[in-house]
A and B are shown apart, each in its own frame.
Chain A
Amino acid sequence: GDSVTQMEGPVTLSEEAFLTINCTYTATGYPSLFWYVQYPGEGLQLLLKATKADDKGSNKGFEATYRKETTSFHLEKGSVQVSDSAVYFCALRGGYQKVTFGIGTKLQVIP
């Protein structure tokens, strides 16, 4: 079945550092890929998505590129802020809209 593997946290970075959170997936066909974010005390919300190979999703300075050859969708940001502290979930949507999530990576940015 479908699966998503993402790096376990927590990840602790200083403000303005470069962020990479790795995500790889296993799926049949051509899934859509997502990053969701959960800020402290808030619900899950979509951060960015990509629906086909080589697509780049971007939002709030975050980017992720759909790499079919490496089955990856790594999340990157060039300069993190304290306000980016949250839990980040990689996810894929396979057939019939069923969505599979990774375990989540907690990011803590310190000033």
Chain B
Amino acid sequence: GAGVSQSPSNKVTEKGKDVELRCDPISGHTALYWYRQSLGQGLEFLIYFQGNSAPDKSGLPSDRFSAERTGGSVSTLTIQRTQQEDSAVYLCASSSPGGGPPDTQYFGPGTRLTVL
């Protein structure tokens, strides 16, 4: 079946602009994660959605970052007033405790954000 998809694949923006990144998880997956992968920094957890529970926002680096998940499916990560240090690859992953190997996360291809 279809995997996790993300759009756009690449985004170039000017400093100070707002951007929205989209993630379509695997159908039926209840958990959705956002990560940031910066050059030489590894994978940084941003936010986690699980079903109808309140999201775990503990990884969001500042109040310029926010995310929502509508209808328990598609998620949008919004970065307001972008800064050059926001440049990174933003990865989305989904998983489901009820399907496939337990605990496995399935990753999307990522959105490469460049802030000029």
A binds B: yes
Binding site for B on A (CB under 8 A): 32, 34, 36, 43-46, 49, 51, 89, 93, 96-104
Interface of chain B, main secondary structure = strand
Q: How large is the interface on B (under 10, 10 to 19, 20 to 34, 35 or more residues)?
A: 20 to 34
Q: Which stretch (B13-21, B62-70, B80-88, B98-106) binds chain A?
A: B98-106
CB neighbours (8 Å) of B56 from chain A are: 96, 98
Indicate the member of B33, B105, B107 with the most A CB atoms within 10 Å: B105
Binding site for A on B (CB under 8 A): 31, 33, 35, 41-43, 45, 48, 50, 56, 91, 93, 95, 97, 101-105, 107-110
B43→A101 contact, CB < 8 A: yes
CB distance from B22 to the nearest CB of A (A): 16
CB neighbours (8 Å) of A99 from chain B are: 33, 45, 105
CB neighbours (8 Å) of A104 from chain B are: 42-43
A103→B42 contact, CB < 8 A: yes
Known A-B contacts: A99-B105, A104-B42. Give 19 more (CB < 8 A): A32-B103, A36-B105, A43-B107, A43-B110, A44-B43, A44-B105, A49-B101, A49-B103, A49-B104, A51-B103, A89-B42, A89-B43, A93-B103, A96-B56, A97-B97, A99-B45, A101-B35, A102-B42, A102-B43
Known: A102-B42, A104-B42. A97 touches B95 (CB 8 A): yes
CB neighbours (8 Å) of A97 from chain B are: 31, 48, 50, 95, 97, 103
A51→B45 contact, CB < 8 A: no
CB neighbours (8 Å) of B48 from chain A are: 96-98
Bound-state CA distance A97–B103 (Å) is 7
CB closest chain-A residue, reference B107: A44
CB distance from B32 to the nearest CB of A (A): 10
